[in-house]
Structure 1
């Protein structure tokens, strides 16, 4: 970043990518893609190599951009994540799922990883810069093994990484007040710390809730089911006639549905609650990059203040200072564009997944209420 600000990065070639920052509705934003697209991660399949000595899971990825279906392993996602992280140091990338323990391919684990990867590709597709990244598009569309390797080598030799990536960005000519931008970035950083703490507590509580649903809550419903069943047998064996037999049947039916409700709680924990945990995991992993991004901006502002002092001391010329200020402004535009993108994404994400979860909660408990209501009618 220092080399970029001081025009000392030594890059002479033309960047392959071009990105633009605009001011819209009073906010600094990345210019969005005129043709947004989506990706789907699906069909996880266990494959082998080395004559079956080594196994791995391959995922099918299809984008609406090209319609091409490619097969990628976790190691391919991991490689891409490293490349994107190194190139776009001012962009908060979402996290990949945690690395899998060798040889563990249980269905639940594979499904969990697929959902996290789906969230990952969704975030990339929605980002105005990442969605147009050359290496990402190569990952998404290349099906030829030779071309795939050539594309990897090209990405690994890319000069426009780190601070040098800012050479690929065009921002408005209007100069920015470094102090104003610094205050906005610091305010955003404080808010992110609050969001991280809130998300951490939510994760902790939802994990506890999930364990309770699949453990004690399920067991208590099924223990009650056993109690109703035992009581039903006593009515069945009392020899008191049709009324007792009807009571025995009603109790046995109640026992059956209580047992099913217990299983439903476990399913609810695995599906609905797990989706919330995955979303919060993705968000927390994304904002974990924010302190580093804010620090990059702080370094650029510090470099500008040092430059101002150097002008006063006669160590550098006014024309040199103007160039430094232009690059510091470009850095500030990039940081603010990312800040505003993250704020917009945060609001939309939480609105969607919390709303979806509450609707699932409503449907789950409504179904249970209907079942209990039907059971009550058998005792009328």
Structure 2
């Protein structure tokens, strides 16, 4: 990261510190999920999404995914939310299952989530197909792998949400083993109503709202949008750093490949450089099983993937804040009031008095329902804002992972070069040149000078 970029990044971080997360004033009653910590949220479930090797279908081939839902222990200091730990610690209140799903199954599940939870953060799905012109830059294999990772982030965000994770819709998607999960989902949940019609506290939502909820929402929305822009830039820089690291390794591997056999006869340490470089461009699966993954792959898996997870969360909040649902509720409320007033000023003959009273009662019910729904939507938005602020704790661990990745990667290469440096004196004999001994890490060795005869 260049000095100019670092200065810009540091300045924007300083600007963000001036806008601390607004203090959310709540009533004495506890909001849903407000008492949960980030570690508890991450420990709710860990869902794996893996590609099934063979494409299915007689004529039109499609990709299937193995969806495995098993509860694992996730520690915040290591942030292993995307890995399967060796020792699973199941929760009796959660489900453990493994099912096969297609992208179209995710699409139906996402559609029903939006219908059932219009006032909650529902992450977006990745695109089903590559856009025109992208195929030249990204291979089909890379696109499918990127989509798999995006689907894994999507289902984990849903499975870790305090409200979405407790709904039968998610349980059915993760556990139904029948042949047509799309039909099952539509039949079971299309007419089940949204969260307002099923939530027990929907009628008392106003009691849970903080003072000036609209003003707090506007302030929080601006802050979170700024954080989204900031970390989107950081994610792009981290991805470029990973690409440069892998490119440097590829160059080392190519260059040493032509000299490896001849240099290996002089010193095995030269060949070690090629071996270390080869580790960086290996396939991810065997590399992830190594105790010390190398720099480029480590940056991509540990840093970029976590940034993508955090950015998907922020984008879902941005999408929620931009939905027109609040304006639609207010418009229905206004129309209902206008209709009630018009009914009251219409001429009343004895025959239509009862009908008029009935219409007025219906309009009053509609007004009351609109008011309750408006308060409930603001309460949901307030809860989602609190949830985003809890996930902000991830940023310190993401930045720490980036720093540790750089430190460990450069330390590994430094050890190889330090081992190689004193061997130069052995190539030509001590009388033909001078060389310094190996220096401790962090110190600059004396350059080697070769003197011709």
Same-fold status (TM-score > 0.5): yes
- Counterpart-to-counterpart distance in 2, 1:226 and 1:191: 51
169-178 vs 331-340, which moves further: 169-178
> Could you tell me whether the CA contact under 8 Å between 1:94 and 1:285 is conserved in 2?
yes
Q: Which residue of 2 aligns with 1:167?
A: 197
Pair 1:181 & 2:213 matched = yes
> Is the 8 Å Cα contact of residues 58 and 72 (structure 1) preserved in structure 2?
yes
- Please point out which of 130, 135, 139 is paired with 2:173: 139
- Relative to structure 1, is the Cα distance of residues 100 and 377 closer, same or farther in structure 2, using a 3 angstrom cutoff? farther
Q: Deviations over 1:14-62 (max 9, x none)?
A: xxxxxxxxx6888744468999642432542134445476242332423
1: CA distance, partners of 2:101 / 2:305: 21
User: What CA distance in whole angstroms lies between the structure 2 residues aligned with 1:356 and 1:113?
Assistant: 23
Range moving further from structure 2, 321-330 or 191-200: 321-330
User: CA deviation digits over 1:80-109, x for unaligned, max 9?
Assistant: 122212321222222333324599996655
Aligned residue in 2 for 1:287: 314
1:176–1:145 Cα change, 3 Å: closer
Q: 1:71 aligns with which of 93, 100, 122?
A: 100
Aligned length: 336
Specify the SS of the correspondent of 1:40: strand
Indicate which of 367, 372, 376 corresponds to 2:421. 376
In structure 2, what is the equivalent of residue 331 of structure 1? 377
Give the counterpart of 2:110 among 74, 81, 98.
81
Question: Is 2:410 the partner of 1:365?
Answer: yes
How high is the TM-score relative to the length of structure 2? 0.60
C-alpha offsets along residues 238-284 of structure 1, whole Å, 9 cap, x if unaligned?
xxxxxxxxxx723xx34323333443454533443244333333433
Q: Counterpart of 1:46 in 2: which secondary structure?
A: coil
CA shift for structure 1 position 309: 9.0
1:173 and 1:120 map into 2 onto residues whose CA distance is 28
1:178 and 1:307 mapped to 2: Cα distance? 27
Q: 1:343 to 1:256 in 2, by over 3 A?
A: same
How many angstroms apart in 2 are the aligned matches of 1:89 and 1:53? 34
Whether 1:91 aligns to 2:120 is yes
2:48 is equivalent to residue 41 of structure 1: yes
Inter-partner Cα distance in structure 1 for 2:407 and 2:153:
24
Q: Is contact 2:99-2:176 (8 Å) kept?
A: yes
Comparing both structures, which one devotes a greater share of its residues to strand?
Answer: 1
2:235 to 203, 212, 232: 203
Paired with 1:179 and 1:308, the residues of 2 have a C-alpha distance of: 26
Q: 1:10 is matched with which residue?
A: none
Change (3 A) 1:51 1:232: closer
Query: Per the alignment, in what secondary structure is the counterpart of residue 72 of structure 1?
Result: strand
Cα distance between partner residues in 1 of 2:255 and 2:54: 45
Q: Which moved more, 1:313-322 or 1:253-262?
A: 313-322
TM-score with structure 1 setting the length: 0.70
CA distance 1:96–1:377, change in 2 (3 Å)? farther
The structure-2 alpha-carbon separation of the partners of 1:262 and 1:177, relative to structure 1 and needing over 3 Å to count, comes to: closer
- The question of whether the paired residues in 1 share the 8 Å contact of 2:225 and 2:318 is answered with no
Relative contact order (alpha carbons < 8 A, sep ≥ 6): 1 or 2 greater? 1
Report Cα offsets for 1:322-361 as digits up to 9, x if no partner.
665443222211110111112212x243344433343333
The separation in 1 between residues aligned to 2:182 and 2:326, in whole angstroms, is 38
CA distance in 2, matches of 1:334, 1:37: 20
Q: Note if 1:299 corresponds to 2:327.
A: yes
Corresponding residue for residue 129 of structure 1: 163
Select between 273-282 and 119-128 the one with higher mean Cα deviation: 273-282
Q: Distance in 2 between matches of 1:256 and 1:24?
A: 67
Please tell me whether the aligned partners of residues 219 and 262 of structure 1 are also in contact (alpha carbons under 8 angstroms): yes
Structure 2 partner of 1:249: 266
Q: CA deviation at 1:200?
A: 2.5
Contact 1:186 1:294 in 2 (8 A): no
Map of 1:56-67 to 2, 5 A cutoff? 56-64=63-71, 65-67=94-96
| CA-based RMSD | 4.4
For residues 354-380 of structure 1, give each alpha carbon's deviation from its aligned partner in whole angstroms, at most 9, with x where no partner exists: 333433333322222222232234344
**SS in structure 2 opposite 1:78?**
helix
Distance in 1 between the 2:241 and 2:145 partners? 20
Change (3 A) 1:378 1:106: farther
Whole-Å separation in 2 of the counterparts to 1:72 and 1:143: 10
Q: Which structure has more helix as a fraction of its residues?
A: 1
The secondary structure found in structure 2 opposite 1:71 is strand
Q: Distance in 2 between matches of 1:359 and 1:332?
A: 41
